[in-house]
Amino acid sequence: MGGILEGKRILVAGVTMDNSLGFAAAKVAQEQGATVLITNFGRALNITKRIAKRLPVEPPVLELDVTNEEHLAGLESAVREHVDGLDGVVHSIAFAPQDALGGNFLNTQWPDVATAVHVSAYSLKGLSMAAMPLLKEGASIVGLTFDASVAWPSYDWMGVAKAGLESCARYLARDLGPKGIRVNLVSAGYTKTLAAGAIPGADVMGTIWGERAPLGWDVEDREATGLAVVALLSDFFPKTTGEIVHVDGGYHAMGA
């Protein structure tokens, strides 16, 4: 009782499996007292509906493809079937076509890059605007990034899309701040998920992480990220926006 999200209504966009970072955020949010709604799209929607039962409270599952303008336009009414507003939105969404990942950086064609940027960066703006009629002063939007200030093995155009996401979050913070809405990102260390598994050769980062992070790092631990997302959704960061909080065991701060 008395969790930091008590009475808050939170939409978590991008939950497929119980190893999704969005699942971890949804779980901690419920444990902290929130009413949670989750989204996914397409063929995986049925998987999400099954996975939803593994949360402490089974949440409504809404369909949302962030590249589908009809889905975005219908989000407000879909949410209002369950709750009459939102206090927080979690963007836990990324996708890049195989040609844009895994070391093919110099040969990737624009349509594949465009898809990566649309789904992984521009969608933070799309989701935020779709949710805007549901949000009021004090609301919090939180996205997930993978440190885009450096180049990584295999990450390629997803890294470029993440740089776009990080910039997008700052511009949203600028434009939504006057409405009292905060926009922040959690920069998570390499974690085993469906999305991470789809990047050929990226698992090498898991090994390096454990060796370099001063706090150590467990690629199976998603709760640390979920806790940080929930902290940013809560009222405990009232004057923090346009920020990137690293949940990476301290890896980003080490030179070697």
The contact set with ligand NAP (CB under 6 A) reads: 14-17, 20-22, 40-42, 44, 64-67, 92-95, 119, 144-146, 188, 190-191, 193-196
Shortest separation between residue 171's beta carbon and ligand NAP, angstroms: 18
Angle, CA of 8, 130 and 164, to the nearest 5°: 100
Nearer to ligand NAP, 34 or 144 (CB): 144
Which tokens belong to 61? 């599952």
Closer CB to ligand NAP, 12 or 173, in the complex: 12
Q: Which helix (H) or strand (E) covers residue 144, if one does?
A: strand 135-145
- C-beta of 64 vs 141, nearer to ligand NAP: 64
Whole-number minimum distance, CB 93 to ligand NAP, in Å? 4
Beta-bridge mates of residue 156: none
CA angle 174, 88, 57 (to 5 degrees): 165
94 vs 132 by CB, closer to ligand NAP: 94
Q: What is the rounded distance in angstroms from the CA atom of residue 151 to the CA atom of residue 61? A: 35
The b-or-e profile of 44-73 (16+ CB within 10 A means b, else e) is ebeebeebbeebeeebbbbebbbeeeebbe
| Minimum distance of ligand NAP from residue 21's CB (angstroms) | 4
Residue 41 three-state SS: coil
Nearer to ligand NAP, 65 or 99 (CB): 65
User: Are 61 and 84 contacting, i.e. CB atoms less than 8 angstroms apart?
Assistant: no
Closest distance to ligand NAP from the beta carbon of 151 (Å): 15
Task: Provide the 3-class DSSP secondary structure of residue 188.
Answer: strand
Residue closer to ligand NAP, measured from CB, 138 or 192: 192
In angstroms, give the least distance from the CB of 136 to ligand NAP.
24
Nearest approach, Cβ of residue 55 and ligand NAP (Å): 14
d(CA 153, CA 256): 16
